[in-house]
Structure 1
Amino acid sequence: MTEETAAEARVRVKVTRTLVRTPLVVGTVLLLAAIGFTLLGDDLSIFPFLLMLVGGWCFGFAFVNATLGMVPTRNGAILHLGVAIVLGAVLAFVVEFGGDLIEPFPDEVRGIAVVLQLAAIPATGWIWLALIGRITDFFARRDAKKRPSPVAPEWEREESGDGSIVRFPAVELRLRTLTQAIVGITVVGGLLGVALVIALDDIVMRMGPRMMILFLGITVALPVYLVFTAILRRRTVPCTVAFGNDELRVGVGDELHRIPFRELEFLRWRCRSDYARIEVRGAGADLSLFAGLAKPPRGFSAELPALPRRVYRRLELAGFTLEKARRGEVITFRGPSEPASRAPAH
């Protein structure tokens, strides 16, 4: 046990050094190059500007990795928090009063100061983003200890005894309809955002680009997203899917569809993400049930379980063609008469 712990510690130290030293070297080279361009009289063209931004980000990246590799973890978190606060305050001070402070110095010194100031912006931004992620992860892990993580629905033995069944909530919706709705909402939201910017021109111009994006996200994008998801979740219905010995049974609310395997034309199954769903076509049924968009019961996640192995065997023996996409996340079975789709599976 001690040897394993020591080996893990050596690996951690080696990885941490690589993720700290390499960005520091790269960042130093890029900033020196940016300073060189500036001193040669380049008036902040795009290339040296990119060198400053990427070089500054390298330093922020190296610092974050260094704090993540510290033992105990608490020391790294405290150092991360302290440096983030100090850098934020210093950067705000320099932006406000830096021009007056460097005014008496020669042009070369002012040029170097400008390079360092611009490089400090992405470095500080990355440090703050990592700090926010660290805090979020801390609270997420603390909440996970208090309550169990939601679990996916599971397959159960059906009462008839000839197969397995899974029960889950879903929204009956076609992917094409969902895509059209998203495009329409995006267009309408964009027009509302433009109208809002025009109406509040004086206020928006004083915000700056970052605050304007945040303002539009809070006032337009977030409400539209919440309303859209609420409308979809109101259409949630209880559903069941059961694979018997020779048929597929899909229940949508009070309606039950029985599809013999010999009449099944198409089956698509996706377990995770907002696009978790089952699509079935055959025997007069044409269904598309999104589990990822439905409101799950307490203690359960909005997803589907993986298909049982017996389903793969039965469908392949029945002559179905198996297709996998999205790194195996999307499983598609096509009947002998169903042409292969050229469109990517989502």
Structure 2
Amino acid sequence: MTDIETPPAVRAPTWRRLVLSPLTWGSALLAVAIIATLAGDDLSFFPFLLMLIGGWCFGFSFVNAALEMRPPRNGLILHIAVAVLVAAVLILVVEFGRDAMASLPEPVRGVIVVLQMAAIPAAGWIWLGLLARISDGFTRRNTKKRPSPVPPEWVKEANADGSAVRFPAIPIRVRSLRTAIIVIVGVAGSGTTLLLIALDDIAMRLGPRLLVIAVGLLVALPVYLVFTAVLRRRTTSCTVAFGNDELRVRVGDEQRAIPFRELEFLLWRTGSEYARIEVRGAGVDMTLVAGLAKPPSGFTAELPPLPRRVFRRFELAGLTLQKSRRREVVTFRRGAGPAAVSAPRA
């Protein structure tokens, strides 16, 4: 059978990508913090919280971009360079910036203070991401003699049409996950600041270099480890199967079937900590995050690429494939334009 010529897949609207971008939110939060600071609300809790969350948004965006760079070595080099540069700038500002700022106009000093405070959580997240990459590199090197872990594989379902894949996942919405991260960053950042104020003498003796390391090791890293441990306690066994005319999702002992004709939205992301499936339609609205779950021995915390037959089935069901700048993300949506789904070529 010859392929049917179809128009190009629909790209997500620019406004939607801007609204969902952490850079947009970070810029907006820092803008509000600058306005509040210049208006005389000098380092009170509200603008201070905006600085922390806004700075974290920039750090979060950079770490994700560095992780997605190809080849990965270029992303690692850029990650190291930016981490060292940000730390050096913070140290120089703390050591020598006070005298230089004294001669600047008050509004300029206010803006610099906001950016300086925002740079602290950004630098912390960048260094935390770098430590995770280095730790992962050592783990890979130490396990080089053992068979490399592989993503879960599609298998033919017994006594059923189509194929299925089994994987551990955490049932949690991405919006809830990001909100939890923002709240944790805000609470941890505020608590760290109050602790540093209370232990002012000790903080001054440590100096900026040791202080950054101490905050990372004693606050940021434990918070990250506790957060991931709490999430992983919700891990459950999941199965996703694509039949000829329906999608079947099993979470634990509960199974739901969604006819392709009633499917409104499906997102399938194969890699990174956000590897997941999002499904909406026929009364089902669920997200299963595989990237943060603890995988079985010999497997990675990923999802396999969608079978080629699924693209054709979705085309016949009236779903549209939307382009993404991330190659590991496949999104189908109903009502986004003319059906334009075609299987990727081998």
Query: Does structure 1 conserve the Cα–Cα contact (< 8 Å) formed by 2:320 and 2:336?
Result: no
Residue aligning to 1:266: 265
Counterpart residue number, 1:242: 241
Note if 1:221 corresponds to 2:220.
yes
Deviations 1:197-227 (A, max 9, x none): 1122112112221211110111111111111
Q: Deviations over 1:117-138 (max 9, x none)?
A: xxxxxxxxxxxxxxx99x9899
Counterpart CA distance in 2 for 1:185 and 1:256 is: 33
Aligned pairs for 1:163-312 (under 5 A) are: 163-312=162-311
Which AA in structure 1 matches 2:322? E
Identify if the C-alpha distance between structure 1 residues 258 and 139 changes in structure 2 by more than 3 Å, giving closer, same or farther.
closer
Larger Rg: 1
Partners of 2:314 and 2:215 in 1: how far apart?
A: 49
Residue 269 of structure 1: how far off its partner (Å): 0.5
Structure 1 residues 313 and 275: alpha-carbon distance in aligned structure 2, compared to 1, 3 A threshold? same
Amino acid at match of 1:321: T
3-state SS in 2 of match to 1:165: strand
Distance 1:137 1:282 in 2: 37
Structure 2 CA distance for partners of 1:204 and 1:222, relative to 1, 3 Å: same
Aligned residues: 207
For normalisation by structure 2, the TM-score amounts to 0.56
Distance 1:189 1:138 in 2: 28
Structure 1 residue identity aligned to 2:320: T
Q: Which residue of 1 aligns with 2:158?
A: 159
Q: Please list every run of 5 or more consecutive structure 2 residues that lacks an aligned counterpart in the other structure.
A: 1-130, 339-346
Distance 1:217 1:158 in 2: 47
Change (3 A) 1:228 1:317: same
Q: More helix by proportion, 1 or 2?
A: 1
After superposition, the CA RMSD in angstroms is: 2.4
Highest RCO, 1 vs 2 (Cα 8 Å, sep ≥ 6): 2
- 1:164–1:244 contact (8 Å) kept in structure 2: yes
Q: Does the CA-based 8 Å contact 1:265-1:338 persist in structure 2?
A: no
Which 5+ residue runs of structure 1 have no aligned equivalent? Answer: 1-131, 340-346
The answer to whether the Cα contact below 8 Å between 1:266 and 1:338 also exists between their aligned partners in 2 is: no
| Aligned residues with identical type, % of pairs | 66
TM-score, scaled to structure 1: 0.56
**Aligned residue type for 2:285:** D
SS across alignment from 2:228: helix
Distance in 2 (alpha carbons) for counterparts of 1:224 and 1:136 = 17
Secondary structure, counterpart of 1:178 in structure 2? helix
Amino acid across the alignment from 1:216: V
Q: Which amino acid aligns with 1:225?
A: Y
Measured after TM superposition, the shift of residue 337 of structure 1 is 7.5
- Please state whether the residue corresponding to 1:177 is helix, strand or coil: helix
Please say which of residues 243-252 and 139-148 is displaced more in the overlay.
139-148
Task: Classify the secondary structure of the residue corresponding to 1:146.
Answer: coil
CA contact 1:192–1:220 (8 Å) conserved in 2:
no
Residue-by-residue CA offset, 1:3-40 (whole Å, 9 max, x unaligned): xxxxxxxxxxxxxxxxxxxxxxxxxxxxxxxxxxxxxx
Stretches (4+) displaced over 2 A: 135-142, 336-339
Residues 338 and 184 (structure 1), Cα distance of their counterparts in 2 relative to 1, 3 Å cut? farther
Q: Find the aligned partners of 2:271 and 2:136 in 1 and give their Cα distance.
A: 21
User: Given that residues 320 and 337 in structure 2 are in contact (C-alpha distance below 8 angstroms), is that contact kept between their aligned partners in structure 1?
Assistant: no
